[in-house]
Structure 1
Amino acid sequence: MRWDRFFEDIEDQLASEWEAERAALETEAERLRLARITLHERLAALVATGDADPVAAGLELRGGATLSAPVAGLGADWLLASPWGSRSGAALVPLSAIAGVTLPHAALLRSARPETAASGSAVSRRATFGFAVRDLVRRRSGVTVHEVDGRSVTGTIDRAGADHLDLAVHERGAIRRAAEVTGYRIVPFAAVAWIGIDGHAESLRV
């Protein structure tokens, strides 16, 4: 009887050790998985889809501005948000301008599992910030360029280079005509915190 109890104790101990080893391996695998996740992948999991309630992400930007908005789209190095609703405007945000993102706990956990990310266009996910800005040039969209130093300038983007844009400065809502333009400004992409796009959020397509 004593030997039976002896072997039972050994089996219990081995089972406990195996369980501890399995848990340790799972924990290490999870650490390795998390170590490979990028910010881009986590943001992709937040992209609003038609079959789910959008999650309002708190985008804390360089310079101190904060946008609370669902993430409507994602490019290679930028995201599109709609702080004022899909029918009144949108915000084009370079990822380099993001200082932090605040989320509800459930959304935070979901963003840490990229396999739950919404399936977006592979083409749009490769489109750069410069490409998105050039789309605004093509559409002649009225914009407000918010810079990382807190300055905001309204107008129409005339052209976009490799790392900067040319802004024709005029009052918000005005049509870009020579008589309405009060000046011209070159803005490096590195100075942009976000670009507010007048009109429909759907105006930006890549």
Structure 2
Amino acid sequence: MRWDRFFDDLEGQLASEWEAERAALDTEAERLRLARVSLQERLSQLAGRDGAAPALSFDLSDGVTLRGAVTGVGADCVAILPAEGRPGAVVVPFAAIAGIGMPHHDLLRSARPAPARSALAERLTFGYVLRDLVRRRAGVAVHLRSGRALHGTVDRAGADHLDLALHDPGAPRRADAVTGHRIVPFASVSWVHVDGTAPLL
């Protein structure tokens, strides 16, 4: 009888140790997985269209806090539908994001394993979005890290900069309406507000 109890206790201890070791391995595997998760993947988990995405608070490099829903995620930027302010869409390079506020359940949801992204999504860079704006001839407000905003139309987008024709907000780009031109390095851009409602990514 005592030996039976002894072996039962021993079996219980081994089972407990096995469960503790398995839990430790699972925890370490999860730490390793999270170490490889990118901001792009986390934002992709929170993206949605037509109001399906949660409202997040983006603290940007120019000191602005922008509240809105993620509508698309590119290779190095995110498209946001602002919750307030002028109608239109916003594109923000990842490098200009100082922090993102969200409810705890969305924070946890964003850390879940993400499905594989398409090869096309991996090629949608900030420069690609700006070149699309050149094609659309959309009016923009380019908000710089310095806090200044430049209004106009993107004429050209290079590898690391854009050419902006300056004109009044909301006005079409006409030669007689243009008040000047600027070359703006991508590195100095905090965010770009685009007039209209067409999706950016």
State TM-score, norm by structure 2: 0.92
Greater mean deviation of Cα atoms: 152-161 or 52-61: 52-61
Within a 5 Å distance, the mapping from 1:16-165 to structure 2 comes to 16-49=16-49, 53-84=52-83, 88-115=87-114, 122-165=119-162
Provide, for residues 157-176 of structure 1, a one-character-per-residue CA deviation record: whole Å limited to 9, x for no partner. 11111111111111101111
Tell me the equivalent position of 1:187.
Answer: 184
Structure 1 residue 201: Cα displacement: 3.8
1:56-97 superposed Cα distances (whole Å, 9 cap, x missing partner): 121111121111111001111111111057x93000111111
C-alpha displacement at 1:125, in angstroms? Answer: 3.5
- Secondary structure of the residue that 1:37 maps to in structure 2? coil
> Per-residue deviation at 1:42?
0.6
**Aligned to 1:114, what secondary structure does the other structure show?**
coil
Q: Secondary structure at the match of 1:82?
A: strand
- Code of the residue aligned with 1:68 in structure 2: it is R
User: What TM-score results when the alignment is normalised by the length of structure 1?
Assistant: 0.90
Q: Which residue of 1 aligns with 2:169?
A: 172
Maintained 8 Å contact 2:163/2:184? yes
Question: Cα deviations across residues 118-158 of structure 1 (Å, max 9, x unaligned)?
Answer: x8654133211111101101111000000011111111111
Output the amino acid matched with 1:129. F
Letter in 1 for 2:177: E
Structure 1 partner of 2:7: 7
Paired letter, 1:14: L
Distance of 1:23 and 1:120 partners within structure 2: 30
2:58 partner letter: L
CA distance in 2, matches of 1:76, 1:124: 7
Q: 1:161 to 1:182 in 2, by over 3 A?
A: same
Instruction: Tell me how many residue pairs correspond in the alignment.
Output: 200
SS of residue in 2 equivalent to 1:101: strand
Structure 1: runs of 5+ lacking an equivalent: none
